[in-house]
């Protein structure tokens, strides 16, 4: 436009992001995008819950394999799942993007479209962020998502208050995220045949309503979300609470593997114990509350899988009644060897599920 200086390219990029993602000020957000920093208006009766999560090409998703709208959806879902796990209500998010020039076209539009859908489902408003090119020695997309949630003062459910005798629950089927990943890595993801089984990996459904109910009605004594697999995450909760646990193998809600996928060599019990990225809630309930849980939760699908006990470590009770130590075989960034073809490391989910 003659007479009006054109905006620098970064401003144009920010404008594109702002057009795609809901970002209007109002409510808790007094001033959002367009100023130097966001101004928030805290509620006197609530506390803020804040979490930060990275989603990096080649580590968390793969070039040319993960659909761009799934990248956008999942980047926000993963971060917001941690807000659900505290029992908080999501309010605002910040997005920082390192974006190579090959990703500024249609890929960016589709990625933002997926993220916008997630923001709408979760009730999130974009409050700010940053954009940059990756450094000269890097050519990967990196998304850093910070999510703010609100919870009634004192109601947030932490990991540290599980007590011996508490019942242990998960909020849905385990292993569906890992099954989708394995289908993708086996290059069976093209075409419609396994589309439904890929959905939990591409677009994980997080447990916002259940998390808030468990917190606001003071049902859960401790809670976290399952991001790295039950065998890795349950010991984290137990460690934080200074307790041990026993899990009953026959009580685990396992994903069903179709017979046509038997050649992949996967076992349902191993996916349930060690598979990552399910984003179900793992929570404990004092026994006097557990007896009334079904009535309190109505239609919510929760499964009682075991019990907190005194001591250390997590035991697995096998179908015959024998107990063995459950080894942590879920995902660990700093233990796993990340390989180029595998977004979460070359980790086998086959073989023995337990060690004695």
Residue closest to 96 by CA, chosen among 68, 127, 136, 59: 127
> Applying CB under 5 A, does 278 fall inside the site for Mg ion?
no
Of the pair 107, 169, the CB lying nearest Mg ion is at 169
Of the pair 227, 254, the CB lying nearest Mg ion is at 227
Minimum distance of Mg ion from residue 224's CB (angstroms):
5
Site string for Mg ion, 193-232 (x = CB under 5 A): --------------------------------x-------
* Number of residues located near Mg ion, criterion CB under 5 A: 2
Burial of 302 (0-12, 13-18, 19+ CB in 10 A): buried
Of the pair 25, 158, the CB lying nearest Mg ion is at 158
Tell me which residues in 54-93 interact with Mg ion (CB under 5 A). 82
DSSP structure class, residue 248: E
Minimum distance of Mg ion from residue 82's CB (angstroms):
4
The tokens for 7 are 């905006």
Tell me which residues in 94-133 interact with Mg ion (CB under 5 A). none
Q: Alpha helices of 123-229 — where are they, by DSSP H?
A: 176-185, 195-202, 208-216
The answer to whether the CB of 282 falls within 8 A of the CB of 150 is: no
Of the pair 116, 224, the CB lying nearest Mg ion is at 224
Residue closest to 273 by CA, chosen among 334, 344, 329, 324: 329
| DSSP for 141-166, written as a single string | -EEEEEEEEEEETT----STT--TT-
Minimum distance of Mg ion from residue 145's CB (angstroms):
13
The answer to whether the CB of 281 falls within 8 A of the CB of 170 is: yes
Query: Residues 211, 44, 125, CA angle at the centre, nearest 5°?
Result: 55
Minimum distance of Mg ion from residue 227's CB (angstroms):
5
Of the pair 166, 225, the CB lying nearest Mg ion is at 225
Minimum distance of Mg ion from residue 341's CB (angstroms):
26
Query: Residues 192, 255, 143, CA angle at the centre, nearest 5°?
Result: 65
Of the pair 99, 206, the CB lying nearest Mg ion is at 206
Contacts of 145 by beta carbon, 8 Å cutoff, 6+ apart: 52, 53, 54, 55, 75, 76, 78, 79, 93, 94, 95, 96
Minimum distance of Mg ion from residue 273's CB (angstroms):
18
Of the pair 82, 278, the CB lying nearest Mg ion is at 82
Q: What's the CA gap between 96 and 275, in Å, rounded? A: 28
Of the pair 211, 286, the CB lying nearest Mg ion is at 211
Minimum distance of Mg ion from residue 337's CB (angstroms):
23
Minimum distance of Mg ion from residue 323's CB (angstroms):
27
Q: Which residues bind Mg ion (CB under 5 A)?
A: 82, 225
């Amino acid at each position: 436009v003659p007479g009006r200086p054109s905006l620098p390219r970064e401003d144009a990029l920010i404008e594109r992001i702002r057009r795609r993602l809901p970002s209007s000020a109002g409510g808790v957000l007094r001033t959002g995008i367009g100023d130097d920093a966001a101004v928030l208006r805290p509620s006197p009766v609530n506390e803020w819950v804040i979490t930060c999560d990275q989603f990096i090409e080649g580590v968390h998703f793969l070039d040319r394999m993960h659909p761009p709208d799934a990248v956008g959806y999942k980047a926000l879902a993963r971060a917001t799942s941690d807000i659900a796990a505290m029992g908080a209500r999501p309010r605002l998010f910040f997005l920082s993007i390192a974006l190579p020039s090959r990703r500024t076209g249609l890929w960016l539009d589709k990625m933002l479209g997926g993220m916008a859908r997630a923001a709408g489902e979760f009730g999130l408003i974009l409050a700010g962020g940053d954009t940059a090119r990756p450094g000269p020695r890097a050519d990967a997309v990196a998304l850093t998502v910070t999510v703010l949630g609100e919870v009634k003062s004192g109601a947030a459910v932490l990991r540290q208050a599980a007590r011996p005798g508490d019942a242990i629950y998960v909020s849905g089927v385990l292993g569906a995220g890992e099954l989708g990943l394995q289908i993708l890595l086996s290059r069976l993801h093209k075409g419609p045949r396994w589309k439904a089984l890929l959905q939990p990996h591409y677009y994980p459904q997080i447990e916002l309503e259940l998390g808030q109910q468990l917190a606001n009605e003071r049902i859960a004594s401790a809670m976290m979300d399952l991001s790295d697999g039950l065998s890795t995450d349950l010991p984290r909760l137990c460690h934080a609470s200074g307790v041990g646990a026993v899990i009953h193998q026959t009580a685990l809600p396992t994903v069903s593997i179709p017979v046509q996928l038997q050649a992949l060599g996967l076992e349902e019990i191993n996916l349930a114990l060690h598979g990552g990225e399910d984003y179900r809630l793992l929570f404990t309930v004092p026994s006097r509350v557990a007896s009334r849980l079904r009535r309190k939760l109505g239609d919510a699908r929760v499964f009682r899988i075991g019990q907190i006990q005194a001591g250390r470590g997590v035991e697995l009770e096998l179908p015959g009644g024998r107990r063995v130590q459950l080894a942590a075989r879920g995902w660990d960034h700093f233990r796993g060897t990340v390989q180029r073809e595998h977004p979460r490391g070359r980790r086998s989910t086959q073989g023995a599920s337990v060690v004695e």
